[in-house]
Each structure stands twice: as structure tokens, then as C-alpha cells.
A and B are shown apart, each in its own frame.
Chain A
């Protein structure tokens, strides 16, 4: 199965420690035998509304082919970790090779 995942990590952290969270997620997908097909970093964005008292967040997107059991772990992580704001998961039919619009906005 192909999946598209978006993670939001608290903007109160430094970029390095946010990247550590992200690397940890990548590792977990790989450890369970998943393949990572595409990753994107959307930058430090303003949130439209406050989540866990945060008004900014780092956005990461991962397209992967993996087992759905991994996502259960992420769900519990969102509930338990203060710095882990959102986890969003979508089934997709194919991976779009172009960069998404949100990354382009960041570069400009």
C-alpha cells in the first residue's frame, strides 16, 4: 500500500531537534520493512489555529510504501508527546514526482 503522511512538530523546538523527531519517524518506517519513496519539508509555518498552545509548526511529508501497523504507533505518539502536534495519513494511488505547492512557497 502507498501512503502519504504529514507530520507537524512543535515550532517551539529548534530545527535540529525537530529533525531528530523526523529521523526517528523515518527509522521506524524503515525498521518495519517499509520503503520511503519521497520526502518533503514544508518549513516552519504559521498554524491557522493553535494546537497544544503552539502557533507555529514544522511540516514534514513522507510518501512511503509500508505496513499500516506503523501508523498505530504514531497515533499514540501524538497523544502522549507534547511536541508532536499532528499526524495525518492518506492512502494514495501513485506518488506525484513533482514537488508540492507548499514547498515552492517556502523557496520563494
Chain B
């Protein structure tokens, strides 16, 4: 798995290079949009790193703030043990 992430030639095959949350048709990052936020978390409830998801730095900051807000309101778990 590691090689796929860091190897330049193979990364072009497996990952979309542009940020999925930037651009015209991109979904709005908001703490109320739980289904979107879930996609950027692990099953355990951790926030996925942007190097895996290809999210831009600006949007990653918005994402992490939104996830933390949703956690406070018990819309998302801090840790899920399922």
C-alpha cells in the first residue's frame, strides 16, 4: 500500500490528483453534512490524512473543523468500537 501512495508512476493510476472538495461542483463542507464527513474518516472515527484523500490544505482545515463540530454535537463519534 505504501508504495502506491509514494511512488509517482503508480499514484497516477490509483488516485485522482485534484482535490475532490475544490472546484465548481464540489460539495460544501459543513458540520451538518454528515455523510460527506464520514467519507473522510476511518471506520474507527479518525480523520483521514489529506495525503491519502488528496484534499487540498485549505479544504482539509475546513474538514477537520467540521468533523470536530459534528463530534461535539454527537452527530459523529469520537471513537467507534464496532
Q: Does A49 contact B78, Cβ atoms closer than 8 Å?
A: yes
The residue in A48, A59, A88, A90 that gathers the most chain B C-beta atoms within 10 A of its C-beta is A48
A49 with B34, Cβ < 8 A, contacts A88-B69, A88-B72 known: no
**Is the interface on chain A under 10, 10 to 19, 20 to 34, or 35 or more residues?**
10 to 19
Q: Does B32 contact A51, Cβ atoms closer than 8 Å?
A: no
Q: Does A88 contact B33, Cβ atoms closer than 8 Å?
A: no
Question: Using Cβ atoms and an 8 Å threshold, which residues of chain B touch A8?
Answer: 73-74
Number of B residues near A (Cβ < 8 Å) is: 15
Question: Using Cβ atoms and an 8 Å threshold, which residues of chain A touch B73?
Answer: 6, 8, 59, 86, 88
Q: Which residue of B lies closest to A86 (CB)?
A: B73
Mostly, the A contact residues are strand
Q: Does B72 contact A48, Cβ atoms closer than 8 Å?
A: no
Q: Which residue of A lies closest to B75 (CB)?
A: A48
Q: Does B33 contact A51, Cβ atoms closer than 8 Å?
A: no
Question: Using Cβ atoms and an 8 Å threshold, which residues of chain B touch A45?
Answer: 75
Q: Does B76 contact A (CB under 8 A)?
A: yes
- Chain B nearest Cβ from A104, distance in angstroms: 10
Q: List 20 A-B contacts (CB under 8 A).
A: A47-B74, A48-B75, A48-B76, A48-B78, A48-B80, A49-B74, A49-B77, A49-B78, A57-B74, A59-B73, A86-B73, A88-B69, A88-B72, A90-B69, A100-B30, A100-B32, A101-B32, A101-B35, A102-B32, A102-B34
